[in-house]
Amino acid sequence: MRVISGAARGRQLKSPPDSTRPITDRVKENLFNILGTDVIDANVLDLFAGAGSVGIEALSRGAKHATFVEFNDGALKTIRANLQLTKLTNKATVQSANVYRYLKKPPQVPFDLIYVAPPQYREMWKETLKLLDARPQWLSDTGTLVVQIHPVEFEEIEWQSFALQDKRKYGSTLLCFYEKNTEQR
């Protein structure tokens, strides 16, 4: 697991505890190719952050700030170590929190990119989107919400605040891209 591009390019990241499933470099590279320049100056929210590689990649590519939300102590230590390794600590906030409780609070700022990568096969992605759907102010009007799940978990759901714009499958990983419904903007 490494930083693919930007200021911290090529840095090897520490692996998270066994209880997390990091995004592969191939999927991460494709994700950021899709997001393109939208990452520059973005406020990023990395939920179920694991090792923090998505938020760190965003920071390396020019994001303004990244907030990492993780509950697992081992993963939190890994995120902090990876931020120090990449020298991106000053652009990051690491929150030790349950994602569901965290999302029930009002956001201090809207995020331009929200990345959701919960543990698989527990329908946690749906619960997370349900919370975000009830509080669309978490996502900026032009922001993107990305969900990383196993393809068998996907279910077409009509959300009030968000619309599915695209899905990309990479082996056992599915990335779902949501944006705010036009009525929500």
Instruction: Please compute the mean of the pLDDT values over residues 145-172 and round it to a whole number.
Output: 95
Asked if the model's pLDDT at residue 22 lies above 80, the reply is no
Q: What is the dihedral of CA 136, 23, 173, 179, to 10 degrees?
A: 20
Cα separation of 134 and 136, whole Å?
6
Asked if the model's pLDDT at residue 120 lies above 90, the reply is no
Spatial strand order in the sheet of 162-170: 92-96, 65-70, 43-47, 111-116, 139-149, 173-180, 162-170
Report yes or no on whether pTM surpasses 0.85.
Answer: yes
Packing angle between helix 73-86 and helix 53-60, nearest 10 degrees? 20
Q: Compute the mean pLDDT over every residue in the chain, rounded to the nearest whole number.
A: 93
- The pLDDT, as a whole number, for residue 6 is 86
**pLDDT (tens digit, 9 = 90+) per residue, 39-48?**
999 999 999 9
Cα separation of 58 and 120, whole Å?
23
Lowest mean pLDDT among 48-52, 102-106, 120-124: 120-124
Instruction: Please compute the mean of the pLDDT values over residues 143-169 and round it to a whole number.
Output: 95
Asked if the model's pLDDT at residue 37 lies above 70, the reply is yes
- The pLDDT, as a whole number, for residue 20 is 63
Asked if the model's pLDDT at residue 185 lies above 70, the reply is no
Asked if the model's pLDDT at residue 129 lies above 60, the reply is yes
Asked if the model's pLDDT at residue 149 lies above 90, the reply is yes
**pLDDT (tens digit, 9 = 90+) per residue, 53-79?**
999 999 999 999 999 999 999 999 999
Asked if the model's pLDDT at residue 17 lies above 70, the reply is no
**Are residues 128 and 156 in contact, defined by beta-carbon separation less than 8 angstroms?**
no
Instruction: Please compute the mean of the pLDDT values over residues 177-184 and round it to a whole number.
Output: 85
Q: Is 126 helix (H, G, I), strand (E, B) or coil?
A: helix
Assign domain 25-184 to its CATH superfamily. Answer: Vaccinia Virus protein VP39 (3.40.50.150)
- The pLDDT, as a whole number, for residue 169 is 97
Cα separation of 16 and 140, whole Å?
29
- The pLDDT, as a whole number, for residue 49 is 95
